[in-house]
Amino acid sequence: MADKQETSGNNKVWFITGTSRGFGRVWTEAALKRGDKVAATARKLESIADFKEKYGDNVLTLELDVTNAEQVKSTIEQAHAYFGRLDIVFNNAGYSLVGTIEEAGANDIRALYETNVLGPVAVIQAALPILRKQGYGHILGTSSNLGHVTLPVVGYYCSSKWAFEAIHESLAKEVAAFNIKVTIIEPGAFATEFGSQESLKFAPELDIYNDFKQEFFGSLQNMERGNPEATPDAIFAVVDTDTPPLRLFLGSHNLPWTRGAYAERMATWEAWEEVANAAQGETK
């Protein structure tokens, strides 16, 4: 195994997916501005061409569709060959499927999981041999506060983030012995392009849900949204420490909402504890 190379401060090499807009673009630009090096990837190379123009050899722009596992492997290998190492592998690409549980079809759900779950898995599986060989690394993944709580109409997106959370939590335990760290980044509501047509796909609609969805979307219009430009310092705090957390909320509303959701779950489990314990049967 290669000797561990210290990469404190502004001497890090990043591999980031989904850098054309939203958090991916904000974090890529912030890393480059502080002097780090970034392999920036996006589905369309022209959408990130400006990075190369501004930051020259410090950035490697690569076309990547995370649903193509062979392309994922090739792209990570190109990034490693170009920079000589990968300190941070950041799974950020993803989108939301809008539709009730009844409305969304199997193909829509499958496509969502191809990008939001299987895509990140492909990145992880391609990166791990490199990180193990170099003797260190930090895998980050963009989840959501909806990885702990749910909303109607985006239930399948929520479910993809619950899966994403479980995969990364298991991963953290599996790779700790290799000096590889894992952190799940969980943003709340922010004023990014995530709500744009490019970041959303819509399931076919059933008229029966029109009134419900109109009320739901109306309630979202008044939701306070954070400033994405305020988030890079939190990301840098995580990657620059020797003891990064497994999870990091971004935004001030996530913890109260999640605390309330778990309190409600605990109350339900405790209220039904007697029934649950009886289901154990007689122990031998």
Is residue 62 helix, strand or coil? strand
By CB neighbour count within 10 A (0-12 exposed, 13-18 middle, 19+ buried), where does 279 fall?
exposed
Catalytic residue among 12, 95, 113, 161: 161
Q: Which two structure tokens, joined as six digits, stand for 227?
A: 């400033």
CB 6 within 8 A of CB 214: no
Burial of 48 (0-12, 13-18, 19+ CB in 10 A): buried
**CA–CA dist 138, 122 (Å, integer):** 16
Judge whether 136 counts as a catalytic residue: no
First CA to last CA across the chain, in angstroms? 48
Provide CB contacts within 8 A for 177, sequence distance 6+: none
Active site residue 156: no
Asked if 21 contacts 43 with a C-beta cutoff of 8 angstroms, the reply is no
* Residue of 276, 279, 284, 3 whose CA lies nearest to 136: 3
**Is 161 one of the catalytic residues?**
yes
Q: Among 96, 143, 144, 160, which one carries the catalytic annotation?
A: 143
Q: Which of 157, 159, 160, 181 is catalytic?
A: 157
Closest C-alpha to 164, from 177, 151, 145, 181: 145
Residues in the chain: 284
Residues 6+ apart with CB under 8 A from 127: 15, 76, 86, 89, 137, 139
32 close to 58: Cβ distance less than 8 angstroms: yes
Residues catalogued as catalytic: 143, 157, 161
